[in-house]
Structure 1
């Protein structure tokens, strides 16, 4: 049995808070978590929609039924199967997306990113190879990918305001895996990390979300 890979052109969607008009000064890229979809995730930011701020929700490349063989559908960014290819494909998709968005935003001044849960790991991998240098980088209920190069991670965030938003009732915070991944900040020598706690579990909290957007 011979195992090979094939490259081909494909299409994938993303969701925007509004159609770009060219007056936008800020861009937020928000990455959903495991089992979510881009459009439903973007709705959680609807109170923050503003003509001068474009919020864009990319969607994980892998979709599946959440229960059984029908009903609600979710997406994920990667699994352990074909992991390296999933990461490479996600980066290619996100690189094409940011290139397209920049062309539509001639007055863009700042780029921010937010990753929720599994989306935080995907976000961290992407910014480490994209040369993005974002203004705000928000890890919400999620941590950097465990396999990042510390020096590359540090240089990618050298001019960024780095924020971790953590729910005081989030069971994922107590897992050994999460604690180990949070050590990536220390390993990379990132000392400017701001940790903000909110009352609640594994979810976006509207009050803190607004605070972070307005920082």
Structure 2
């Protein structure tokens, strides 16, 4: 018996908090954690929602049903990659996120600042995606980042463009020693990137907690749209 591969089109899902359009001043692509429902992830990001900020939450391609909640409600989790099929999964997620970003940004003003936020395994997925250097972005935020052992973290970080990276760790949940963030920051510095470490507590994610501060706007709308 011999394993073969076959490329086919499939339907991906994503959640949009806000509406792409001329009033958008910031676009955030937010990648969820392993087995996390996108709805739960969106609830964590509620403090970031403003009329001028568009949040795009892609769902990983490998979906499955999570165990029922205490009230019997079912929800969907997803994973970005499987250890047994890593390279095809990484190629698929890059193509998927590239196409999604291109579509979203085409509906927003030119040069709208882009932030990429990766949570848990979504941080590793974000780094692998951005290391392909196909999308222009302004800032990368890695929150409680977990790189599976199958992914060479240092080799991945070397491929990232020279953009600021904010590494965020939590004082509440420490899933693995890597979540503490110090090692990741050192790896980022070692490959020549600008990185800083910040901490969040259980109060929720805010711009300040994510190390984002005041977002800059490098887009000036045309006062005469017909020109």
Same fold (TM over 0.5): yes
The corresponding residue for 1:10 is 10
User: Is this contact kept in 1: 2:146–2:179, CA < 8 A?
Assistant: no
Q: Equivalences for 1:1-215 in 2 at 5 Å?
A: 1-67=1-67, 71-143=74-146, 146-147=151-152, 150=155, 153-154=157-158, 156-158=160-162, 160-174=163-177, 183-190=186-193, 192-200=194-202, 205-206=205-206, 208-209=208-209, 212=212, 214-215=214-215
Aligned-residue CA RMSD (Å): 2.9
Deviates more, 1:87-96 or 1:166-175: 166-175
- CA distance, structure 2, for counterparts of residue 98 and residue 88 of structure 1: 15
Aligned length: 209
- CA distance, structure 2, for counterparts of residue 6 and residue 177 of structure 1: 40
TM-score normalised by length of structure 2: 0.78
Residue ranges of structure 1 left out of the alignment (5+ in a row): none
- CA distance, structure 2, for counterparts of residue 132 and residue 143 of structure 1: 22
SS in 2 for 1:11: coil
Deviates more, 1:91-100 or 1:173-182: 173-182
SS in 2 for 1:85: helix
Residue ranges of structure 2 left out of the alignment (5+ in a row): 216-227
Considering only CA atoms, is the larger Rg found in Structure 1 or Structure 2? 2
Residues 119-148 of structure 1: per-residue CA shift (max 9 Å, x gap):
000000000104334212101000567425
SS in 1 for 2:103: helix
SS in 2 for 1:7: coil
